[in-house]
């Protein structure tokens, strides 16, 4: 029998990281030493006090049963306290919080809770691909908001036509931003909240990178903006902050009706996060936070080495104030996919073509700061050496 996939799968663009994995496997099979700056997965281990906490919690039979759908109260209390302390909020665990199997899971399920076929969803471009796929799965109509360098990678709401706004139900935002590394300030979030309230739009803010900042700017929460709790839900993740990407734990916070609606979808699809992982999550959020300081130092050192090296070979990159991504402008007239592919072929350095995050990412590639300083120095040397070859292959001067 020929397996015919559902129409919703046919509507999806190819999942970017799956393509990258395939390319990587092909090149690795040829014995090339790959420097993987493609996917944003921390190279450092989960801090040992968090691992120990899981080991202990996993031996408790109480933790081996089905978890509660919306998460352990003690985890949600811990997450609420963390938010309240970090952002000066007033979150209450039972009504404003829900535990997630990683923030991706919650983000992907949210449109199923809110979107009817034909509802418009505002999606930034370039962006983390899940906003678009989740919208398509729910039968929503995506409307892309370009994130342009000249606007500091913030959307320009004035450009969205009135007839689109009338049909818009939901808007996705993400700051600090993947892939551009842009940070939004509280003034921007105040404007978002006022705009969304005026047009009856729910705001889903993806806050996966709020703790990955390097300099003076400390990223705010959207929920700090006036009126945000009337229309907003924010997604947080332990993945990058505590090097816990494989553990699958995050949480959403915000308006109680939105939390309840998301919970209703989830309770019909999944059965929550393993309690022992939630116990380890509490340890992560409540114990010594010096691991985050160390992480910031390590990433900022790598960032500086990479930026200097890129400048030396004539590539222009925005200095990231947050996230562990470097958004690099490629020479005019070159396609991002071609540049990334030729770079990989000639140097073994894997980057992500910007257009994989949407059409407005064309003209850029993204590198993740997920290898050590020594590997970055090696990468720079390889690029320096290969640049004439790369330019020749791409027909640029
Ligand atoms: C912008 C953004 N949001 C969410 C996620 C998902 O994180 P999690 O591991 O919590 O599912 C990622 C992961 O790369 C991301 O880049």
CATH (domain of 87): 3.40.640.10
At residue 366, what are phi and psi to the nearest 5 degrees? -115, 135
Pairing of strands 120-125, 168-174: parallel
**Residue 230: how many CA atoms within 13 Å on its side-chain side?**
14
For residue 182, the model assigns a pLDDT of 97
Q: Are residues 245 and 374 in the same domain?
A: no
Q: Are residues 226 and 295 in the same domain?
A: no
> Which of 286, 321, 346 is where one domain is finished?
286
Q: Are residues 63 and 179 in the same domain?
A: yes
Q: Domain for residue 1, yes or no?
A: no
Cis amide linkage into residue 126, ω under 30° from 0: yes
Q: Are residues 232 and 342 in the same domain?
A: no
Q: Is the pLDDT of residue 231 over 90?
A: yes
Task: Give CB contacts under 8 A, 24+ apart, made by 190-195.
Answer: 190/225, 190/226, 191/157, 192/222, 192/225, 192/228, 193/222, 193/225, 193/226, 193/227, 193/228, 193/230, 193/231, 193/232, 194/226, 194/227, 195/157
Q: Are residues 94 and 141 in the same domain?
A: yes
State mean pLDDT over 366-385. Answer: 97
Q: Is the CB of 239 under 6 A from ligand 1?
A: yes
Q: Name the pLDDT band for 26 (thresholds 50, 70, 90).
A: confident
Q: Domain for residue 2, yes or no?
A: no
Q: Is the CB of 250 under 6 A from ligand 1?
A: yes
State mean pLDDT over 343-366. Answer: 95
By most ligand atoms within 8 Å of CB, the mutation choice from 15, 102, 103 for ligand 1 is 103
For residue 29, the model assigns a pLDDT of 87
State mean pLDDT over 248-276. Answer: 98
Q: Domain for residue 40, yes or no?
A: yes
- The SS3 assignment for 268 reads coil
pLDDT in tens, 311-328: 999 998 989 999 999 999
Q: Is the CB of 234 under 6 A from ligand 1?
A: no
Q: Are residues 215 and 330 in the same domain?
A: no
pLDDT in tens, 175-186: 999 999 999 999
What gap in Å lies between CA 305 and CA 259, rounded to an integer?
42
The residue nearest atom 6 of ligand 1, judged by CA position, is 104
Q: Name the pLDDT band for 22 (thresholds 50, 70, 90).
A: confident
pLDDT in tens, 158-201: 999 999 999 999 999 999 999 999 999 999 999 999 999 999 99
Tell how far the Cα of 322 is from the centroid of ligand 1, in angstroms: 14
pLDDT in tens, 79-137: 999 999 999 999 999 999 999 999 999 999 999 999 999 999 999 999 999 999 999 99
> Which of 255, 286, 317 is where one domain is finished?
286
The closest alpha carbon to 295, from 214, 176, 384, belongs to: 214
Q: Is the pLDDT of residue 21 over 90?
A: no
pLDDT in tens, 62-94: 999 999 999 999 999 999 999 999 999 999 999
For residue 395, the model assigns a pLDDT of 87
How many structural domains is the chain composed of?
Answer: 2
What gap in Å lies between CA 91 and CA 114, rounded to an integer?
22
Q: Is the CB of 300 under 6 A from ligand 1?
A: no
pTM for the whole thing? Answer: 0.96
Q: Are residues 299 and 271 in the same domain?
A: no
Higher confidence at residue 293 or residue 14? 293
Q: Is the CB of 360 under 6 A from ligand 1?
A: no
Q: Any idea which residue has 């801090």 for tokens?
A: 47
Tell how far the Cα of 197 is from the centroid of ligand 1, in angstroms: 26
Q: Name the pLDDT band for 15 (thresholds 50, 70, 90).
A: low
Q: Are residues 226 and 319 in the same domain?
A: no
Q: Is the pLDDT of residue 52 over 90?
A: yes
For residue 350, the model assigns a pLDDT of 94
Q: Domain for residue 189, yes or no?
A: yes
Residue ranges making up the domain that contains 112:
48-286
Q: Name the pLDDT band for 10 (thresholds 50, 70, 90).
A: very high
For residue 17, the model assigns a pLDDT of 65
Q: Are residues 12 and 29 in the same domain?
A: yes
Q: Is the pLDDT of residue 363 over 90?
A: yes
Task: State the chain's mean pLDDT as an integer.
Answer: 95
Q: Are residues 362 and 380 in the same domain?
A: yes
For residue 39, the model assigns a pLDDT of 83
């Amino acid at each position: 029998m020929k397996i015919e996939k559902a129409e919703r799968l046919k509507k999806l663009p190819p999942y970017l990281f799956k393509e990258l994995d395939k390319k990587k496997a092909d090149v690795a099979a040829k014995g090339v030493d790959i420097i993987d700056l493609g996917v944003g997965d921390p190279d450092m281990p989960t801090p040992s006090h968090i691992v120990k906490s899981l080991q202990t919690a996993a031996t408790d039979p109480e933790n081996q049963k089905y978890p509660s759908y919306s998460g352990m109260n003690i985890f949600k209390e811990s997450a609420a306290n963390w938010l309240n302390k970090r952002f000066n909020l007033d979150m209450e665990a039972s009504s404003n919080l829900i535990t997630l199997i990683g923030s991706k899971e919650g983000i992907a399920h949210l449109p199923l809770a809110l979107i009817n076929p034909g509802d418009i969803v505002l999606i930034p471009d370039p962006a983390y691909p899940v906003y678009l796929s989740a919208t398509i799965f729910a039968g929503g109509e995506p409307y892309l908001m370009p994130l342009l360098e000249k606007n500091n990678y913030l959307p320009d709401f004035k450009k969205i036509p009135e007839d689109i706004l009338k049909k818009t139900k939901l808007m996705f935002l993400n700051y600090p931003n993947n892939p551009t590394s842009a940070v939004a300030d509280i003034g921007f979030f105040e404007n978002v909240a006022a705009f969304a309230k005026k047009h009856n739009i729910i705001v889903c803010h993806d806050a996966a990178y709020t703790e990955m900042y390097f300099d003076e700017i400390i990223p705010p929460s959207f929920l700090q903006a006036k009126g945000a709790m009337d229309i907003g839900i924010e997604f947080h993740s332990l993945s990058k902050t505590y090097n816990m990407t494989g553990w699958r734990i995050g949480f959403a916070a915000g308006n109680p009706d939105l939390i309840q609606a998301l919970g209703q979808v989830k309770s019909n699809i999944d059965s929550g996060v393993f309690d022992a992982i939630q116990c380890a999550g509490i340890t992560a959020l409540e114990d010594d936070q010096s691991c985050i300081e160390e992480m910031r130092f390590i990433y900022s050192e790598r960032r500086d080495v990479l930026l200097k090296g890129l400048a030396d070979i004539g590539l222009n990159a925005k200095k990231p104030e947050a996230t562990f991504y470097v958004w690099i402008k490629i020479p005019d007239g070159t396609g991002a996919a071609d540049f990334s592919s030729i770079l990989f072929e000639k140097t073994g350095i894997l980057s992500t073509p910007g257009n994989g995050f949407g059409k407005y990412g064309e003209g850029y590639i993204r590198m993740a700061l997920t290898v050590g300083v020594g590997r970055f120095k090696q990468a720079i040397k390889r690029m320096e050496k290969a640049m004439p070859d790369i330019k020749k292959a791409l027909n640029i001067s």
